[in-house]
């Protein structure tokens, strides 16, 4: 398998003043193929979000190799975009202006930005809300804006940090299905961090289970469910078997911490 994103022996220690240094990741390795949908699950504080920020280029690892398409990642870049758990929308900007943010920062001319924003707003189902402000939107709609903003820059890698964790259960189910539809059409590489075993199993090609801090790969579970997947698939015995397998691996990590 040719690896598109390659992490090898990545370690990171957080040093804060007046505190014990915290080892967030030790010798964490992961290879992701182009177009693959990979989820990371693990106990709270295991460093999975930290890893996402390393791939994004906001944090530099203390040691180890982190590459995208054979080139070392040394900062944020055009090919990667993040969808944040708490949305991260600018409250003083309309939906359109928020979706245009990434393009604006990359210096795309305004006519082109507007056209691209309209396209993405339609894709995520927010037509008619172009001039609304974030405080006028529901959580689900806010995250649609977050997704549109990330997709607008046409990244090859979509990084998603518990993107649906702040949403209610029904909205969450809906957003998962829509994300799958968008992903199946665009075939972007997705690295998805979540606490939900069900979400990881439903969306992913592979699920990485991480150990408790300091985070390492505990197990990798291949999800060999056919695609396209739909909601009904989540009611099959096979789906439940997969969930159970992930749970059994994860449980050891949760109980070992008390």
Partner 1 sequence: MAAQAFFTEHRRLWLALCSVFFLVASWELVLTYVFPVDPFFFTKPSLIATAFREQLQGSKLWHDLAVSSQAFIWGFAFAVIVGIPVGLVMGWRRRVEYSLDPFLTALYASPLVALAPLFIIVFGVGVLGKAALVFLLAVFPFIFNTFAGVKSTDALLINVIRSFGGNEKDLYLKVILPSTIPYIVAGARLAIGRGLVGIIVGEFYAASEGIGFAISQAGDTYRLPDMFVGIIILSLIAIILTELMRRLELTVAPWRASDEVR
Residues that bind partner 1 (CB under 8 A): 56-58, 75-78, 81-82, 84, 86, 88, 90-92, 101-102, 104-106, 133-135, 153
Instruction: Write down the least CB distance from residue 138 to partner 1, Å.
Output: 14
Looking up tokens 């944020």 gives 76
Nearer to partner 1, 152 or 246 (CB): 152
Instruction: Write down the least CB distance from residue 91 to partner 1, Å.
Output: 4
Nearer to partner 1, 102 or 163 (CB): 102
Instruction: Write down the least CB distance from residue 130 to partner 1, Å.
Output: 17
Instruction: Write down the least CB distance from residue 82 to partner 1, Å.
Output: 5
Nearer to partner 1, 65 or 90 (CB): 90
Instruction: Write down the least CB distance from residue 207 to partner 1, Å.
Output: 24
Nearer to partner 1, 76 or 128 (CB): 76
Nearer to partner 1, 90 or 244 (CB): 90
Instruction: Let me know the angle formed at the C-alpha of 34 by 109 and 77, rounded to the nearest 5 degrees.
Output: 35
Per-position DSSP letters for 134-203, written without gaps between them: GGGS-HHHHHHHHHHHHHHT--SEEEEESTTTTS-HHHHHHHHHHHHHHHHHH--EEEEE-S-HHHHHHH
What 3 state SS string does 58-87 have? CCCCCEEEEEECCEECCCCCCCEEEECCCC
Residue 128, number of CB atoms within 10 A of its CB = 10
Question: Integer distance in angstroms from the first to the last C-alpha of the chain?
Answer: 38
């Amino acid at each position: 398998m040719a690896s598109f994103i390659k992490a090898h022996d990545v370690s990171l220690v957080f040093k804060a003043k007046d505190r014990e240094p915290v080892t967030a990741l030790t010798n964490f390795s992961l290879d992701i193929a182009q177009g693959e949908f990979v989820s990371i699950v693990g106990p709270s504080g295991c460093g999975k979000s930290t890893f996402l920020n390393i791939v994004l280029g906001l944090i530099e690892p203390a040691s180890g190799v982190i590459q995208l398409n054979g080139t070392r990642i040394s900062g944020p870049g055009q090919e990667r975009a993040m969808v944040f758990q708490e949305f991260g929308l600018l409250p003083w900007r309309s939906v359109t202006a928020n979706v245009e943010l990434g393009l604006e920062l990359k210096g795309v001319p305004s006519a082109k930005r507007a056209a691209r924003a309209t396209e993405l707003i339609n894709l995520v189902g927010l037509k008619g809300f172009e001039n609304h402000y974030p405080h006028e939107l529901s959580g689900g709609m806010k995250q649609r804006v977050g997704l549109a903003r990330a997709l607008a820059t046409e990244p090859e890698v979509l990084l998603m940090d518990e993107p649906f964790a702040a949403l209610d259960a029904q909205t969450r189910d809906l957003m998962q299905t829509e994300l799958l539809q968008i992903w199946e059409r665009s075939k972007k590489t997705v690295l998805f961090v979540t606490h939900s075993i069900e979400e990881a199993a439903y969306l992913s090609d592979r699920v990485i289970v991480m150990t408790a801090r300091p985070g390492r790969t505990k197990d990798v579970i291949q999800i060999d469910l056919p695609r396209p997947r739909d909601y009904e698939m989540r009611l099959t015995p096979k789906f439940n078997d997969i969930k159970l397998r992930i749970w059994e691996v994860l449980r050891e990590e949760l109980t070992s911490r008390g």
